């Protein structure tokens, strides 16, 4: 069995609102050469392909890739951490209900919640509702809340609720406009996304946030960004810089297994390194469907690592089943 825990969803109600020009954040849809495109007022534009919202297309794509189960999360462009809390909360409530309705149509699909992180108490309340009433199995948030890092203590009520409910928190970079320093060559995604994940994960370690929430499960997409591959640098800083060791009592590398990491490296050697570094019991399949940066060759990369059958079974399905409680 293969389970994809990094694959995205657009609620049909949002799509209809965007077609009417009535969507949150003034997002619109525009048809180009027979394909609808999502147009964000901040500048980002991308095709709204059927795998984002059509059940038949979604299941067919899963079949084509050999995926048995998918755990859906809303597109990170719909996190709306940058809007006012009220509209974001309303969207999240509607999106979570749409997610629950969509995944209920197939026993091969499960869903994650979206929350209005601008208001951590409201985020905690919505997460509880999404899990206990809508049967969603986790939650996706950004790697920051705009300029506020996730280790800020204002988010403690939200993280405490996720830990209490025993659901994973998936951290996903987000953007809806081009960042000037990464404007060329699509570097906003190619470099900016893994950088943001690396920064966020590093801060969760160095700030002591993971120590404040010892039972919190965190999933890092895109194989953890840059953090796993520079963990030795963090450890060296811990040895020689008081700023680095001020809030933790053990080297940063000792926190690696507090995270789960998806398989999206787009190459065999870094994927093999990741599994050797963190353990096969901390890696899960991710694809990033249905964006153009999706990994359609994860099966090949995993096969080329030479991992034993037990490790492959854990990565393919065992770990995802455990942390998302898919067999309950």
244-287 tens-digit pLDDT: 999 999 999 999 999 999 999 999 999 999 999 999 999 999 99
Q: In b/e form, how buried is each residue of 62-95, taking b as 16+ CB within 10 angstroms?
A: beebebebbbbbbbbbbbbbbeebeebbebbbbb
Residues in the chain: 328
Q: DSSP states of 145-163 as a string?
A: ETTEETTSGGGHHHHHHHH
* CA 161 to chain CA mean position, Å: 18
Taking the domains of the chain in order of start, what are their residue ranges?
61-324
Q: How far is CA 140 from CA 8, 9, 31, 75, 134, in A?
A: 11, 12, 29, 10, 15
pLDDT at 162: 98
CB burial of residue 33 (10 Å; 0-12, 13-18, 19+): exposed
Which residues in the chain land under pLDDT 70? none
Q: Token pair for residue 209?
A: 């946030």
202-252 tens-digit pLDDT: 999 999 999 999 999 999 999 999 999 999 999 999 999 999 999 999 999
CA distance 202 to 252: 8
- Give backbone dihedrals phi and psi of 189, rounded to 5 degrees, phi first: -90, -50
The backbone region for 206, taken as left when phi is positive above 0, alpha when psi lies in -120 to 50, beta otherwise, is alpha
Residue 132's Cβ-side half-sphere holds a number of Cα atoms within 13 Å equal to 10
Degrees (nearest 5) of the Cα angle 19, 20, 21? Answer: 95
| CATH number for the domain running over 61-324 | 3.20.20.140
CB burial of residue 327 (10 Å; 0-12, 13-18, 19+): exposed
Q: In which element (H, E) is residue 142 found?
A: strand 139-142
Strand 35-39 versus strand 28-32 pairing type: antiparallel
pLDDT at 327: 85
């Amino acid at each position: 069995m293969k389970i994809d825990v990094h694959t995205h969803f657009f609620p049909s109600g949002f799509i209809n609102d965007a077609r009417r020009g009535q969507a949150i954040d003034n997002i619109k849809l525009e048809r180009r050469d027979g394909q609808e495109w999502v147009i964000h007022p901040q500048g980002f534009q991308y095709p709204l392909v059927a795998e984002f919202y059509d059940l038949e297309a979604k299941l067919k794509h899963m079949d084509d890739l050999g995926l048995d189960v998918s755990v859906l999360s809303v597109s990170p462009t719909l996190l709306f951490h940058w809007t006012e809390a009220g509209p974001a909360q309303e969207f999240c409530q509607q999106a979570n209900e749409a997610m629950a309705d969509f995944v209920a149509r197939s026993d091969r699909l499960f869903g994650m919640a979206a929350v209005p992180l601008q208001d951590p108490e409201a985020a905690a309340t919505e997460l509880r509702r999404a899990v206990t009433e809508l049967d969603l199995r986790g939650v996706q948030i950004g790697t920051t809340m705009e300029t506020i890092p996730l280790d800020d203590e204002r988010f403690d009520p939200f993280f405490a609720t996720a830990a209490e409910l025993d659901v994973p928190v998936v951290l996903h970079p987000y953007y809806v406009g081009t960042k000037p320093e990464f404007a060329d060559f699509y570097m906003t995604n190619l470099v900016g996304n893994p950088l943001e994940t690396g920064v966020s994960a590093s801060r969760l370690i160095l700030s002591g946030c993971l120590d404040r929430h010892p039972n919190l499960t965190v999933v890092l997409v895109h194989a953890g960004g840059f953090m796993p591959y520079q963990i030795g640098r963090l450890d060296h800083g811990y040895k020689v810089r008081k700023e680095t060791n001020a809030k933790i009592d053990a080297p940063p590398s000792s926190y690696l297994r507090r995270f789960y990491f998806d398989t999206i490296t787009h190459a065999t050697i870094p994927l093999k390194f990741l599994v050797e570094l963190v353990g096969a019991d901390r890696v899960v399949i991710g694809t990033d469907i249905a964006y153009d940066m999706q990994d359609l060759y994860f099966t090949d990369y995993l096969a080329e690592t030479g991992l034993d059958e037990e490790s492959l079974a854990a990565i393919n399905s065992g770990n995802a089943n455990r942390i998302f409680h898919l067999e309950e």
